[in-house]
Amino acid sequence: MEQLIIDTSSREYPVYIGEGLLHRSAELLASVLEGKSRALIISDSNTAPLYAETVRDSLEPLLSVHIHTLQAGEHSKSLEGYDQVMTACINARLDRHSVILALGGGMVGDLAGFAAATYMRGISFVQMPTTLLAQDSSVGGKTGINHPLGKNLIGAFHQPEAVLYDTDTLASLPDKEWRSGFAEMIKHAVIKDPDLLVRLRTEVQNTEDMKKDSLKQFLKQSMTVKADIVKEDEREAGVRAFLNFGHTLGHALEKASGYKDLTHGEAVAAGMIFAMKVSNYLQYSEWDTAAETAWFKALGYPVEAPAAFEPAALVETMKSDKKARAGELTFVLAASPGKPFLANVEERDILHLLSEMKKGECRDD
Ligand SMILES: NC(=O)c1ccc[n+]([C@@H]2O[C@H](COP(=O)([O-])OP(=O)(O)OC[C@H]3O[C@@H](n4cnc5c(N)ncnc54)[C@H](O)[C@@H]3O)[C@@H](O)[C@H]2O)c1
Ligand SMILES: [Zn+2]
């Protein structure tokens, strides 16, 4: 088992990464559960049937455990989903000394975390991630739900008491979701861990390689990057913004594709290649974008996705992004691995690069 400690100004908590951990929930969460009499497992229709009983069996000798199952999919991370979870909390008679266990991917983690942040003005919660992407979402304390007018617009900072990452759960994860999570791992490596980037490039050439034994180490290194950034900047006043590398265009692509065809990580992967092109174009860097593109394609990422959309429409979306200030285009760029920075980029430069991609004239890939 790998272990790391997340240290933030509001809380210090452990992350356990390894096989068979759900069976050991009672033992690993002993200190969190001390003095607690009730727990509510929040899970979704894909993860609950596979894993919720294991957690309940482990915990039941210690406290009473309820399970609430949401319909799988991002649409549950909504006001309606939140309403449902609040009702489940009340029905399970949770009180301020109860704990919510978020058993699932980022959708469950964000919603259950937000429920924990707000139910009775805040109760404890534990993240039990079951997707590769949740290595990113399960630490850092950002919780929230979507509104019909925008993603993640309603939320709170609320750190979990522990993160219990049972890598056995990844065995049932579809390949598309593996790729989605792996993109965030590449992102962590690009912004803060050049050695990890070298290892990922040499050891992972396709989706099957993502599942090798080295995964646990990769996860630990990747989550350490997130932990370090969150420690420095819990509330995103500065360096935490670097975690948005690839996300400016990534979010626009997700929106343009109606949140259907592209997973979050696939869109971010296309966004990362684009950010490297922007960095090069503005002469901040010399990324070998041809080589990066070839690697990303081998991993199955749709790096040409931007070409399917109108450049002007993508730019408009990027300007209205929640993180954009006063309609400016802000990008996280990188001079080289481990050297990210924020830059305001001229609209015409972005339009130019997107148009080049659309015309298929980008000679470097
Ligand atoms: N809070 C943060 O800091 C943060 C960071 C990044 C992303 N997010 C959020 O995370 C969400 C995306 O997370 P996600 O990609 O994990 O999505 P998800 O939770 O919707 O999971 C993706 C799909 O995989 C299924 N699944 C989950 N675990 C499985 C398993 N072990 N076996 C089989 N199927 C499984 C789910 O049911 C779902 O269909 C978004 O809502 C995003 O906004 C939050
Ligand atoms: Zn992301």
Residue 100: what pLDDT? 98
Q: What is the pLDDT of residue 236?
A: 79
- Using pLDDT thresholds of 50, 70 and 90, give the confidence band for residue 328: confident
Q: List pLDDT tens digits, range 206-264.
A: 999 999 989 999 999 999 999 999 888 878 778 889 999 999 999 999 999 988 889 99
Q: Is 236 a catalytic residue?
A: yes
Q: In the chain, what percentage of residues exceed pLDDT 90?
A: 88
| Binding-site residues, ligand 1, Cβ < 6 A | 44, 46-47, 72-74, 77, 104-108, 110, 130-131, 133-134, 136-137, 140, 142, 152, 169, 172-173, 177, 180, 264
The answer to whether domain 2-172 has CATH 3.30.530.20 is no
Is 327's pLDDT higher than 70? Answer: no
- For residue 22, the ligand closest to its alpha carbon is 1
* pLDDT exceeds cutoff 60 at 363: no
- Long-range contacts of residues 8-13, Cβ cutoff 8 Å, at least 24 apart: 8/141, 8/159, 8/230, 8/231, 8/234, 9/234, 10/141, 10/157, 10/159, 10/234, 11/141, 11/159, 11/161, 13/159, 13/160, 13/161, 13/162, 13/163
**pLDDT mean over 343-365:** 84
pLDDT in tens, 127-143: 999 999 999 999 999 99
Domain ranges of the chain: 2-172, 175-359
CATH number of 175-359: 1.20.1090.10
For residue 311, the model assigns a pLDDT of: 96
- 58: enclosing H helix or E strand: helix 53-59
Closest Cα to atom 9 of ligand 1: 106
In this prediction, residue 238 carries a pLDDT of 83
Give the chain's mean pLDDT: 94
Percent of the residues in the chain that have a pLDDT greater than 70, as a whole number: 97
- Cα of 16 to ligand 2 centre, how many Å? 21
pLDDT at 266 over 90: yes
Q: Is the pLDDT of residue 362 over 70?
A: no
- pLDDT for the residue numbered 334: 97
Instruction: Check if 316 is active-site.
Output: no
Alpha-carbon Rg for the chain, nearest whole angstrom, is 20
**Ligand 1 centroid, distance to 175 Cα (angstroms):** 13
pLDDT attached to residue 76: 98
First-to-final CA distance of the chain: 40
pLDDT tens, position by position, 128-181: 999 999 999 999 999 999 999 888 999 999 999 999 999 999 999 999 999 999
**Per-residue pLDDT tens for 14-37?**
999 999 999 999 999 999 999 999
From 107, 245, 268, the mutation candidate for ligand 1 (largest count of ligand atoms within 8 A of CB) is 107
CA of 110, nearest ligand number: 1
- Whether pLDDT at 361 is above 70: no
3-state secondary structure 94-154: CCCCCEEEEEECHHHHHHHHHHHHHHHHCCEEEEEECCCCHHHHCCCCEEEEEECCEEEEE
- What pLDDT does residue 256 have? 93
CA distance 153 to 145: 7
